């Protein structure tokens, strides 16, 4: 018999004798167990390596048999510590629901779910725990035994191995299920795991949250003699109610019942000499050979199984699905008990349906690009080799408040830009940056960012771009979800990366002092890499070793604004970004040699790919409203600009500061021939004002999103024409954003009475004018996928039509009879009135037209399907529209709002606030979700602070 190492703290653990399992059918009646059907419960006698043992099992097999439905696959679900099979109740319930749907004509594979309580856990048999584990007798069930326990159990249950078999595990059940799957890889067809780990370097300390329970003298007290470990674990769930908490605790109410909890903690093989270490290492090594499909579902707020364990799993499962790697869905906001925080059953069964029921060779594709595609880096090479080689490629305006007297803009020519890009690419390659490496760019827009970005593109590295406007929390979530290999940043960004523990090896933009280099953990700088670069010939020779990226290679991960939930990483390939560049050229007639002022960051980065000079104006990029008319004029003069790209918030401040322009500045703005505003709808009145500032320009308000930056387009003249063709602002169905641009295809998913979009019955816009729908789009320049959000990606593109890949935008609207698209808002902001669903834009358009109103938001209050409409108004400066001491509108103003909306919707309540809450990136997207919660409380008569 192998002598076990002494486990600190277990010596004081008083002996507990073995005992049979409780009668689960009696035990299950003592405490309400919401979501668990007692008919799933059974006790199974199984042969283990130390005799026959009693396992309590939740199993849908007998229920399916009683229904007369034969299962076509089996899911073996293994819990961890200190939970029990109750944690899989939703997965079990979904198994039964799908069987019932099959009886009513539903389709799809029926899965039997088997969820055992591990020995010494849940309602399975309790084992003996001798007082002195170092004396040689096993004091707890070891990892090897728990793996072989599954062998005996599956034999006893007579599971059919000629049908798909899938393992599912969580916590230490994840290790056990993955180990069992690798040992039976011929029989196990797929593996799914929630938060777990299969490797821990023996020299590193375990996470602090777990280390506390393992401390000498603490283990028995925290895990067995008291329920401290159990309480702490259950507290990790975001919103677990008391009844569910009692259900999880029900098998562990006594010291005798908690022996297995302490045993599990004692079996953590953190040290190299631990008896279970060998089995853990065998499992972690075997996963590198796993070639069947694998899915990881992760709660990133887990204090124990942190992101480093997730990325170790991803690395080890790189050969899963025949080399495609494991699928991953991160549930932002969820933690260790991810299955309690989020609905994992829908993710699991959607994944199983895709893997086992849907043909894997659907040959889906995007439409052909609207114009010829040129590689992003190729355009830079072409410009540098042409007669324009010494003309400006990038111009960076100095900040007015920091500029020295007489300081001039910093200009980089096309030849210089190419030279620096190639030199930096060569330097990064020598440093160890490889094709496919992710590089987080914490650099303000300007010449340095342009050089760094195009060096990354030349290398085939993937640029991770998360707007600083997300705030520290949002940025931290974004960076950790992308898990960059490298971080290139200015000092502020690198300081945040160091303090907040963001992943990635660090490179500074500027050369730092030795002290700052050490303090920030920096190992190189862009400035020194460029300074070290050799001759043009040697750089060119070095680049010969670096193959140019292919169209299907990832190029960038751009994060959404976070205005409708945690920011999502949107992956673009080189081919899809190239298609976007080609479309911009075609749609707006942008020819190489043009010059643009980039008041909207995404377009600044595309300048060299278009062949246009990029001029970075003086503004705070995270605050678009800081862009002034004078700053635009100075940038226009310095870069001989012919185009201006700005967000609606930027345009609004440009209009507000235009009165300060000098005659010389106004003349510089007369050279602008094209003005684009993207990011949110622009009010026609604001466009009229902007037209006066740029008198020679054609004004466009393209519609798009991070997932597809250009989908439809509209000019100022067309906007007015659409307004004139409507009888009045009251009859305008939201905001008109124009017609689809070349190469973009729209379909409609109509909303039902409760505001839910159709799943499969998509309509052609030409055949369904005026039908309120979720917009579904397909184009060559759409995103490739969402990053590490497998389920979100499936939801956004689950429907196919004409063998094309379609993206569900989450926007709602309708097409009119002339083929113009009217946007009414976001799907999550739909108001479900008794007369049917409406988008907030239907109400906001006529309210925004009132002279006293700066902006408005319409929200629904009350139960879904019977909601009343509440309008919240931000008043123009100097207007007093609310009653003193209350957000309620003055009666005369409330009557004016109701009259404006009379033709489209009845308004129940009008509220007034000083400022509507907006998202932090665009400063123009209104946070209607927060407003709806606030309005609900106000209407209920509660005194609450302004949103």
Contact 449, 464 (CB under 8 A): no
Hey, what are 331's tokens? 């549930």
Q: pLDDT by residue (tens digit) across 143-170? A: 999 999 999 999 999 898 889 999 999 9
Residue 5 carries which DSSP code? Answer: P
Q: pLDDT by residue (tens digit) across 851-909? A: 999 889 999 999 999 999 999 999 998 899 999 989 999 999 999 999 999 888 899 99
The third-level CATH classification (topology) of the domain covering 376-574 is Rossmann fold (3.40.50)
Cα 144 to Cα 141: distance, rounded to the nearest angstrom: 8
SS3 for 865?
A: coil
Contact 712, 744 (CB under 8 A): yes
Burial class of residue 803, CB neighbours in 10 A (0-12, 13-18, 19+): exposed
Q: pLDDT by residue (tens digit) across 76-108? A: 999 999 999 999 999 999 999 999 999 988 888
Q: pLDDT by residue (tens digit) across 786-845? A: 999 999 999 887 555 566 788 999 999 999 999 999 999 999 999 999 999 999 999 998
Angle at 944 between CA 939 and CA 947, to 5 degrees: 95
Contact 295, 351 (CB under 8 A): yes
Task: Look at residues 802, 803, 782, 786 and name the one whose alpha carbon lies nearest to residue 794.
Answer: 786
Of the pLDDT bands very low, low, confident and very high (cuts 50, 70, 90), residue 683 is confident
Q: pLDDT by residue (tens digit) across 627-671? A: 999 999 999 999 999 999 888 888 989 999 999 999 999 999 999
Of the pLDDT bands very low, low, confident and very high (cuts 50, 70, 90), residue 508 is very high
Hey, what are 372's tokens? 């010829």
Of the pLDDT bands very low, low, confident and very high (cuts 50, 70, 90), residue 592 is confident
Contact 868, 908 (CB under 8 A): yes
Average pLDDT, the chain: 87
- At the top level of CATH, the class of 733-824 is mainly beta
Cα 643 to Cα 635: distance, rounded to the nearest angstrom: 11
SS3 for 618?
A: coil
Contact 462, 456 (CB under 8 A): yes
CB neighbour list of residue 244: distance below 8 Å, 6 or more residues apart: 34, 35, 340
Residue 389 carries which DSSP code? Answer: T
| Residue 565 reports pLDDT greater than 70 | yes
Residue 56 carries which DSSP code? Answer: E
Contact 738, 746 (CB under 8 A): no
The whole-number pLDDT of residue 133 equals 42
Contact 200, 214 (CB under 8 A): no
Q: Give the rounded distance of the alpha carbon of 98 from its chain centre.
A: 29
- Please measure the distance between the N-terminal and C-terminal CA atoms of the chain and give it in whole angstroms: 67
The third-level CATH classification (topology) of the domain covering 830-947 is GMP Synthetase; Chain A, domain 3 (3.30.300)
Hey, what are 27's tokens? 């035990």
User: What CATH architecture does domain 10-355 belong to?
Assistant: 3-Layer(aba) Sandwich (3.40)
Flag the least confident range among 210-214, 266-270, 878-882.
210-214
Hey, what are 338's tokens? 């991810």
Helices (H), ranges, 317-359: 320-323, 338-341, 344-356
Q: pLDDT by residue (tens digit) across 416-455? A: 999 999 999 999 998 999 999 999 999 988 999 999 999 9
Angle at 572 between CA 567 and CA 574, to 5 degrees: 155
Task: Look at residues 234, 236, 255, 238 and name the one whose alpha carbon lies nearest to residue 246.
Answer: 234
Exposure letters 248-273 (e unless 16+ CB within 10 A, then b): bbbbbeeeebbbbbbbbbbbbbbeee
The whole-number pLDDT of residue 648 equals 85
The whole-number pLDDT of residue 22 equals 57
The whole-number pLDDT of residue 796 equals 87
SS3 for 152?
A: helix
Domain with CATH 3.30.300.30 in the chain: 830-947
Q: pLDDT by residue (tens digit) across 721-737? A: 887 776 544 455 788 88
SS3 for 206?
A: coil
pTM: 0.89
Count of beta carbons in the 10 Å neighbourhood of residue 797: 20
Q: pLDDT by residue (tens digit) across 336-388? A: 999 999 999 999 999 999 999 876 555 556 777 766 677 787 888 888 888 88
């Amino acid at each position: 018999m192998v002598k076990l190492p002494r486990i600190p703290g277990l010596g004081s653990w008083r002996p507990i004798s073995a005992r049979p399992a409780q009668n689960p059918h009696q035990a299950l009646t003592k405490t309400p167990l919401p979501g668990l059907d007692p008919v799933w419960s059974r006790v199974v006698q199984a042969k283990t390596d130390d005799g026959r043992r009693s396992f309590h099992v939740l199993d849908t097999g007998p229920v399916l048999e009683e229904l007369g439905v034969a299962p076509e696959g089996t899911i073996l679900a293994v819990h961890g510590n200190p939970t029990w099979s109750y944690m899989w109740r939703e997965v079990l319930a979904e198994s039964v629901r799908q069987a019932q749907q099959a009886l009513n004509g539903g389709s799809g594979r029926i899965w039997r779910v088997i969820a055992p309580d591990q020995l010494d856990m849940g309602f399975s048999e309790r084992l003996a725990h001798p007082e002195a584990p170092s004396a040689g007798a096993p004091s707890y069930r070891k990892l090897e035994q728990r793996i072989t326990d599954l062998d005996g159990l599956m034999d006893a249950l007579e599971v059919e191995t000629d049908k798909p078999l899938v393992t599912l595990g969580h916590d230490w059940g994840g290790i056990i299920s993955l180990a069992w799957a690798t040992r039976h890889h011929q029989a196990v067809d797929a593996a799914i795991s929630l938060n777990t780990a299969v490797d821990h370097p023996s020299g590193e300390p375990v996470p602090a949250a777990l280390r506390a329970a393992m401390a000498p003298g603490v283990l028995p007290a925290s895990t067995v003699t008291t329920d401290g470990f159990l309480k702490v674990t259950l507290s990790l769930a975001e919103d677990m109610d008391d009844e569910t908490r009692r259900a999880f605790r029900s098998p562990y109410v006594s010291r005798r019942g908690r022996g297995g909890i302490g045993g599990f903690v004692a079996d953590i093989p953190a040290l190299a000499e631990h008896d279970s270490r060998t089995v853990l290492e065998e499992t972690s090594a075997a996963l590198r050979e796993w070639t069947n499909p694998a899915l990881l579902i992760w709660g990133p707020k887990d204090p124990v199984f942190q992101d480093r364990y997730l990325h170790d799993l991803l690395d080890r499962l790189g050969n899963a699905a025949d080399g495609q790697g494991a699928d991953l869905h991160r549930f932002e906001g969820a933690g260790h008990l991810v299955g309690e925080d989020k609905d994992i059953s829908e993710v699991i069964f959607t994944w199983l349906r895709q893997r086992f029921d849907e043909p894997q060779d659907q040959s889906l594709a995007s439409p052909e690009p609207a114009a010829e595609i040129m590689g992003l880096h190729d355009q830079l090479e072409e410009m540098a080799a042409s007669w324009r080689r010494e003309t400006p490629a990038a111009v960076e305006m100095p900040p007015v408040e920091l500029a020295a007297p007489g300081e001039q803009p910093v200009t980089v020519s096309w030849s210089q830009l190419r030279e620096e890009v190639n030199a930096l690419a060569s330097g990064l390659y020598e440093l160890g940056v490889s094709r496919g490496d992710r590089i987080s760019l914490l650099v303000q827009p300007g010449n340095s960012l342009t050089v760094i970005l195009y060096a990354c593109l030349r290398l085939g590295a993937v640029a991770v771009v998360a707007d600083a406007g997300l705030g520290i929390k949002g940025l931290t979530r974004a960076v950790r979800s992308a898990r960059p290999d490298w971080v290139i940043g200015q000092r502020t960004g690198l300081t945040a990366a160091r303090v907040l523990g963001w992943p990635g090896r660090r490179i500074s933009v500027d050369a730092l002092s030795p002290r700052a280099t050490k303090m920030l953990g920096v190992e190189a700088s862009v400035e020194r890499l460029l300074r070290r670069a050799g001759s043009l010939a040697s750089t060119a020779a070095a680049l010969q070793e670096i193959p140019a990226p292919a169209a299907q290679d990832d190029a960038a991960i751009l994060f959404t604004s976070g205005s409708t939930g945690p920011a999502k990483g949107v992956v673009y390939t080189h081919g899809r970004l190239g298609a976007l560049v080609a479309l911009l050229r075609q749609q707006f007639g942008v020819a190489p040699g043009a010059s643009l002022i980039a008041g909207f960051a995404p377009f600044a980065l595309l300048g060299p790919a278009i062949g246009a000079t990029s001029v970075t104006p003086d503004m705070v990029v995270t605050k678009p409203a800081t862009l002034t008319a004078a700053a635009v004029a100075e940038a226009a003069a310095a870069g001989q600009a012919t185009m201006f790209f700005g967000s609606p918030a930027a345009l609004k401040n440009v209009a507000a500061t235009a009165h300060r322009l000098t005659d010389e500045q106004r003349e510089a703005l007369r050279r602008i021939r094209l003005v684009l505003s993207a990011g949110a709808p622009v009010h026609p009145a604001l466009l009229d004002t902007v037209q006066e500032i740029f008198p020679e320009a054609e004004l466009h308000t393209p519609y798009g999103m991070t997932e597809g930056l250009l989908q439809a387009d509209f000019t100022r003249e067309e906007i007015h024409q659409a307004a004139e063709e409507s009888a009045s602002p009251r009859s305008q169905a939201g905001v008109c954003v124009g017609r689809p641009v070349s190469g973009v295809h729209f379909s409609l998913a109509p909303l039902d009475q409760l505001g839910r979009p159709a799943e499969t019955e998509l309509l052609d816009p030409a055949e369904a004018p005026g039908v309120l729908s979720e917009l579904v789009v397909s184009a060559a320049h759409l995103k490739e996928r969402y990053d590490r959000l497998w389920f979100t990606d499936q939801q956004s593109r689950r429907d196919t039509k004409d063998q094309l890949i379609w993206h569900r935008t989450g926007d709602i609207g309708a097409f009119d009879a002339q083929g113009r698209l009217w946007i009414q808002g976001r799907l999550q902001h739909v108001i479900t009135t008794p007369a049917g669903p409406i988008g907030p834009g239907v109400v906001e358009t006529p309210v925004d037209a009132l002279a006293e109103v700066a902006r408005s938001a319409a929200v629904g209050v009350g139960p879904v399907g019977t909601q009343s409409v509440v309008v919240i108004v931000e008043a123009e400066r100097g207007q007093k529209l609310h009653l003193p001491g209350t957000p309620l509108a003055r009666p005369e103003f409330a009557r004016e709002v109701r009259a404006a909306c009379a033709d489209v919707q009845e308004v129940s309540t009008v509220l007034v606030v000083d400022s509507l809450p907006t998202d932090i990136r665009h400063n123009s997207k209104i946070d209607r979700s927060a407003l709806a919660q606030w309005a609900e409380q106000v209407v209920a008569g509660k005194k609450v602070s302004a949103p």
